[in-house]
Amino acid sequence: MGFQADLEKLLGLKNISYKYNLSKEELFHEAIKNDKGRVKKDGPSNAQKAYPTKLGAKGPLVFYTDPECTGRRTKDTYAVAWPEVKDQLWFKADLNPYDPEKYQGLLKRVVEHLNSKKATLYVKDVFMGSDPDFAVPYRFVGEYASHAMFAHNMFPKNLEVKDADARRWTMLNVPSFFCEPARDGCRAEAAIVLDVKNKICLVAGRADYCGVVKKSIFTIGNFLLPLDGRLSMHCSANVGAKGDAAILFGLSGTGKTTLSADASRRLIGDDETIWSDNGLCNLEDGCYAKLINLDKDAEPVIAQALSKPGTIIENVPPLPGKRMEDCHPDELDLNDASIAENTRFSYPLDANPNVMPNGQGPHPQTIVLLTADAFGVLPPISILEPKDVMYHFVSGFTARVAGTEVGITEPTPTFSACFGGPFMAHKPNVYAKLLADKMSHHKARCVLLNTGWSGDPSKGAKRMSIKLTRTLLNAALNGELDGVATETHPILNLKMPKSCPGVADPAMLNPKNAWADKTAYDAQAIKLRDMFRQNFKNKGFAAFGIEERI
């Protein structure tokens, strides 16, 4: 078979048994039978990793990650600092430089490890991007059938693209290998290493969180696509009945997935989208949704997909006193965080009945920057000028209440450049300039939509209702805020509309009106303003040509 020769030439793999492009049902049974590893901190390294539910093959696969990898290992994610590419890469805390010589030694040892054990590897050929004009061939090669099944769920398949073999990226995913930091040049016993020069993504060690399979290649897309003037974005996107497309940027917990799932609009994708000269297209063919504390009534699409065959539930425990094999997926306690706060669910995009054909759509008319402000000071909605867009885009702000215990209300800020800083392989100005240029060319509007808290957090302020948020969002999408009278926030320099269709009390559009103590509001707003300024200074955005707006 041709792929075997390719893998021997690229990686040096020999004496390997391959299971190539198995169906999802075949991978389901393979995962339950063969995926072995650690699932408890003090547990054995050969424990069962994947289980069926009561529905068997007619239901989801339940997969358990290593307890040290219930999310991405950001400190253990690297890019090889080859001399010819290192100046193009944005090295930072969650994308560290890897010494080329150390990397070559590590890759050789991983391959020798597989060859010596005569490993069985699962291979799945998919694509990054649904537009054949520029979709990147992506070959997953790994020890776990669960990961191959995840790749099948999450990425487009069976596209006809030019020069597929020459352009293909390969992930070698080997949880059974353990890195030695002193020898291998990494920080821990696991490393995720992106090799831009040779089109390889190496995952060595206990880094078996399914999100690694998609976020690593997304980081690669964020390097490749902007080189050709295509903007890769961490955002959701949908299209209205009039063919009006919108993109929604936002960090986890801001409502990116929830707000894009609108019965009156067709979904392009909920997480990773590309804006090219052809319009918008989904990087993926699936969704990877958070399950913790899921409200099944508010998220009916996800709730219905829980019981569908071929989907993957990650790190949700069985019901107390029961084996997972005896649990119906609809009965699982989605509030149970005893294994991980970051419980997840992978399902095909077509589980949503209202999607755009081939995950593609027109150029967007509306750009939405989502934030969930727990300080209680940002306006519910702000209208952004082009320079504001670039500033708030590279800032990537959101904030959460620090804890759930009574009395703990001090907000915790997060700034993530381009609303996906860890995955941005270029410096943020590259993406900001592409966004500004495309918005200008296609005359797109932009708003900053706050899905967070209204009022004084120390006085029990509540989060803004989804009903209000949707009212504000719909007004923006319909162009009903274009040209509306505004007032400028005196501290945060944001343009706040004085009225909005569907909002009975326009006074609530100014966040200060939600505070009984106006002096306390000003103090909180100044505190947040200073955080923005400090982040701008710390990240060195001025040197990238970004204008400070707060």
C-beta neighbour count of 513 within 10 angstroms: 15
CA angle (263 as vertex; 257, 269 as ends), nearest 5: 35
Give the pLDDT confidence score for residue 11 in this predicted structure: 98
> How is residue 267 annotated by DSSP?
E
- Looking at residue 56, its amino acid is G
Instruction: Set out the domains of the chain in order of their start, with CATH numbers.
Output: 2-46+74-228 (3.40.449.10), 231-276+363-544 (3.90.228.20)
3-state SS, one letter per residue, for 376-435: CCCCCEEECCHHHHHHHHHHCEEEEECCCCCCCCCEEEEECHHHCHHHCCCCHHHHHHHH
Helix residue ranges per DSSP H, 244-352: 256-260, 300-305
3-state secondary structure 183-229: HHCCCCCCEEEEECCCCEEEEECCCCCCHHHHHHHHHHHHHHHHHHC
Is residue 431 within 8 Å of 226, Cβ to Cβ? Answer: yes
Residue pair 517/458 in contact (Cβ under 8 Å)? The answer is no
Query: Do 497 and 383 form a contact (C-beta atoms < 8 A)?
Result: yes
Size (the chain), residues: 550
Q: Which positions are annotated as active-site residues?
A: 72, 215, 234, 252, 256-257, 271, 344
Render 289-318 in DSSP notation, one character per residue.
Answer: EE-TT--TTT-HHHHHHTTSTT-EEESPPP
pLDDT at 401: 64
Strands 77-80 and 96-98: parallel
pLDDT of residue 403: 43
Mean pLDDT for each consecutive 10-residue tract of the chain (550 residues)? Answer: 92 97 98 97 95 97 96 94 96 95 98 98 96 95 98 94 94 98 97 98 97 96 96 95 96 86 89 95 91 85 90 97 96 94 92 88 98 96 96 94 45 92 94 95 98 91 91 97 97 98 96 97 97 96 93
